[in-house]
Amino acid sequence: MSESIFNTTSLDRSVIHWEDHIYDLSPVEKCGPIWLKREDKFAPLGYGNINGSKLRVCIWLISNAIASGAKGVIHGAVTGSPQHPMVATICKHYGVPCIDVVGTDDFVNHRNLAIAKSMGAQFVPCKVGYAKTLEATAYRLQREQHPDYFVLETNITVTERRSGVDRIKNFHAVGGAQAANIPEHISTLILPAGSCNSAVGALYGIAHRRAQSQLKNLRTVVLMGIGNYGSKDPDFIRRRLSLIEAGDVFNWPWATDSTLPLGPDTDKIDVHHYDLNGSGYCAYSDQMPFNFFGVELHPRYEGKIFNYLNDDWPKFGHLFNNSTCFWIVGGPVT
C-alpha cells in the first residue's frame, strides 16, 4: 500500500514543521520490471494529497521568504496547474495569506482551484490566462498593494533575471539531494521534463554523485517533454546546468526525437529528449491516465509518458528492465 514518507501528516505547525523535512529521501522501489523514484510519496498531508518534487521546492521558497519577513504570498499559474493547491496549502500551514491570480472566474469546477479555495486562497481573476500575464499581474499587485508579500514565480522556479547563481544553485540542490538513493546498478534514468526545474534538480544531483565517483553505471538519461520548456526549449536544461556548473558529465545529442542508443562510448551520460507535446502526441491539457503495477500515475504528466512509451513498444520496450529507473516527479491528488 502506498504511503507518505511523513510519519506525521498534519497542517498544524504546532505538530510538524514541513521545512524540516525538505531533504528527507523518498524511496526508490522496484515496480514490475523497473525501478521507480517515488517523489509522489513526499506528501505532508498523506499519500494522494499535495505531493512531489515541486512541493519540496515550493516549501523551500515560501519558508525562506517568511523567515525573511514576508507577510503573505502572491502567485499566478494556468488553471490546471498543481501550483494552486500547493501554494495555498503551504500558506495555510504557515498561517499567512495567499493571493492567487487565475485566468478564470470559475473557482468551483476546476479541481486545483477548488482545493486552493478550501485552503483559503483569495483569487484575483485575470482576463488573460497565459502564464506570463498571470505572473506579471502578481508582481503588479505586490508593487501596488502588498509590498511586504513574496511573489512566487510561475512554475515554482527562480529565474536568472531575478536571482543570483547561488540562490539558483541552492534551489536546484533541494531536488538534487534526491539522487542520493538512486541505485548504483541503474544504467538508464527516465525523467519527466515539464517546466524542467525538477529535471534540472535531478541532473544536478546526478552530476554531484558522478563527481564523487558514484553512479558509474548510469549511461543514459531520457527526458520526456510534457510542458512548455520541456517541449519548446529543450536547451533550457543544458543552459541551467552550465550556469550552476553541473553540466560537464553529460553528452547532449538533442535530436528532435532521439533514437536510442545514441552517443559515443565515453565516461559521460548521454541525454536524449522526446517532445510529447510539441510532436503532437498530446497537449498539455490532455488527461491520459495510466496505472503501472498498482501505481496510479498523474494523468497530465507521468501518465502521458507511460502511454507514449507503451504506444511505441518496439522503440522503447527494451528500456523496461532491472537497470532502468523512472523518476516520478509527483502523483495525482485524489
H, E, C per residue of 157-205 = CCCCCCCCHHHHHHHHHHHHHHHHHCCCCCCEEEEEECCCHHHHHHHHH
pLDDT at 109: 87
Going by C-alpha positions, the residue among 176, 207, 190 that lies closest to residue 276 is 190
Where are the CATH 3.40.50.1100 domain residues in the chain?
Answer: 71-148
For residue 210, give the H/E element and its range.
helix 197-211
pLDDT at 162: 95
Q: At what angle do helices 165-176 and 53-67 cross, to 10 degrees?
A: 140
> Does residue 77 contact residue 155 with C-beta atoms inside 8 Å?
yes
Beta bridge partners of 31: 34
**CATH of segment(s) 18-49+164-328:** 3.40.50
pLDDT at 190: 98
Q: Cα(first)–Cα(last) distance of the chain, in Å?
A: 15
pLDDT at 260: 58
Q: List strands edge to edge, sheet with 150-152.
A: 122-125, 98-102, 73-76, 150-152
pLDDT at 159: 95
**CATH of segment(s) 71-148:** 3.40.50.1100
- Rounded Cα gap, residues 290 and 296, in angstroms: 6
H helix and E strand count, the chain? 10, 13
> Does residue 61 contact residue 152 with C-beta atoms inside 8 Å?
yes
How many CB atoms are closer than 10 A to CB 200? 29
Please tell me the pTM assigned to this model.
0.95
Q: Digits of tens for pLDDT over the chain (334 positions)?
A: 579 999 999 999 999 999 999 999 999 999 999 999 999 999 999 999 999 999 999 999 999 999 999 999 999 999 989 999 999 999 999 999 999 999 998 888 899 999 999 999 999 999 998 999 999 999 999 999 999 999 999 999 999 999 999 999 999 999 999 999 999 999 999 999 999 999 999 999 999 999 999 999 999 999 999 987 666 676 889 999 999 999 899 988 655 455 555 555 568 999 988 989 888 999 988 999 999 999 999 999 999 999 999 999 999 999 999 999 999 999 999 8
